[in-house]
Structure 1
Amino acid sequence: MSILVTGGAGYIGSHMVHALVDAGERVVVLDDLSTGFRFAVPPEAALVVGDTGDAALVSRLIAEHGIEAIVHFAASIVVPESVADPLRYYRNNTANSRSMIDCAVTGGVKHFVFSSTAAVYGNPARVPVAEDDPLAPMSPYGSSKLMTEIMLRDATAAHGLGHVILRYFNVAGADPLMRTGQSTRNATHLIKVAVEAALGLRGKIDVFGTDYPTPDGTCVRDYIHVSDLVAAHADALRHLRSGGAPATLNCGYGRGFSVLEVIETVKRVSGVDFRVDLAPRRPGDPAAIVAACDRAREILGWQPRWDDLDTIVRHALDWQRKLGTMNL
């Protein structure tokens, strides 16, 4: 039996593939390489270049490889871009996910782990935000993910597909062994952008909005190390294999840092004082969002290992330096 990882050549997906291979699993990666990289996929995994919306291809992979579980990362993830081009997000994130779920049900796949997002909460009424709190996405990105959550729950009720939905907060850092990391060109993730500014790859960093109702006026987010997030996926898969019930779980650390706090951390860890410009708010950005994350620990037995902003930043810096030596 094998595990199908969609988006497995991308940032988070490639970390998952390495973790699965490390654990001795047979892994098939499906990625269109629009934002992923061949080098990020370990040679022990089979890489298939294709689209998650290609039902014939996905069905063939499920049958040929005896796929037991799907870990579904593939998605478009840039909030402002989703506001500007919503239909692309509903196609890539929602319609393609609907096709994946259909193929899973038809092909007899037992387990489905879905990469969702804290964006489903919108601007939460309370912080930390819990899994049962109201869902009110502020962007097509958040809505596209919420639609997939609903489809997955309905498919489970109708067809018995075991699933775990993991709602990510802000993912950062890199594999501590430096096998993979955030390699996307023109990335918008704050820590990635700040690291590039520290290393002279960007002339400056823009802070979007300084008038939010937060202690320093900038957005507050819960930053989780990518390796801890991947561990939650491995725990989710173990949970489902052992007969665990479907679950929807937050993945964060339960505390937030403002944009300015993150920038100051990058400056301190890197030893570089780079330029910071203040800019207007971007559409779709909530003021503050931090995870209530006890449920993942209780249900999955998840135990984070890298809960430290300095460590997250240092790993991101180390990966960016290594990336600069690679011929991509």
Structure 2
Amino acid sequence: MLTGNFPQLRLRRLRKNENIRRMVRETILTPNDFIYPIFVVDGENIKEEIPSMPGQFRYSIDRLPEILSQVEELGIPAVILFGIPSHKDELGSDSYSERGIIQRAVRKIKQEFPNIYVITDVCFCEYTTHGHCGYLACSGEVCDVDNDRTLELLKKQVVSHAQAGADMVAPSGMMDGMIKAIREALDGAGFTDIPIMSYAAKYASAYYGPFRDAAESAPAFGDRRSYQMDPANSDEALREVALDIKEGADIVMVKPALAYLDVIRRVKNTFKYPTAAYNVSGEYSMVKAAALKGWVDERRIVIETLTSIKRAGADLILTYHALDAARWLREG
């Protein structure tokens, strides 16, 4: 606590110029903090911009080296992959097929960019005809995701990702018991060294809109509030995180980031556990839209935003700003 009083104590002394500000800076942002999300599509020679996410693209597997070479050159250690298959069905079978879009992408990356750490998103919404995050059970006109049947499909998916060469799996469906089921499946298949980054506190958020455009994963009906968290709750987030840690998660995640900085801080303070935060598509697109209008200084607002997420307690930040932010940080 402060021991002196004005005028003897003047806090502005340590803000005098950039050198002293850098010397006393409490939160240091570096490219090592970033995980870059990449959308992968079936086909050849595809690089198509996502309309609702300016500057972000869907890539076919043969064009992944274009973006991965930038990731590697900028010193960003990891990517997370989201697959958009050409074939969808009720069970999302492409998600656990040996020839699935993600499985082929992982093999390509590990062959050509062995030093990039590859994380795979583990879910079903991109792969199912109904756009929900698992096995859909219906009673009359009422449908919902069947939690326990979905766990069996998740086991198949994570093992197929590990067999393809994934370095880490990141289940995002918010199914009860998913971490326990995934850990047992990986261990049973001999992949005891594959860590799990759990989307432990994933909220039913309006900030996901552009992602659903990018990944073609909008629900065909209804919404996901029966399995994703209510935005009004933070105590519940701690219960979710506690269960995932107990079940074997190696990293826990809060998603989205900006509207949930308080949750990130509570998770970090409570568990002292490796914590990730997802700076999601809606957060990204709002900044890009304002920057394109000339309403904000994109460089300054991005660095300020990412710094705030780290300051809140995130050890890792999944962000579509990663390439630009890494360049700006390099430039100083």
Same fold judged by TM-score > 0.5? no
Structure label with greater radius of gyration: 2
User: TM-score range with shorter-chain normalisation?
Assistant: 0.3 to 0.5
- The TM-score with structure 2 as length reference comes to 0.37
- The TM-score with structure 1 as length reference comes to 0.37
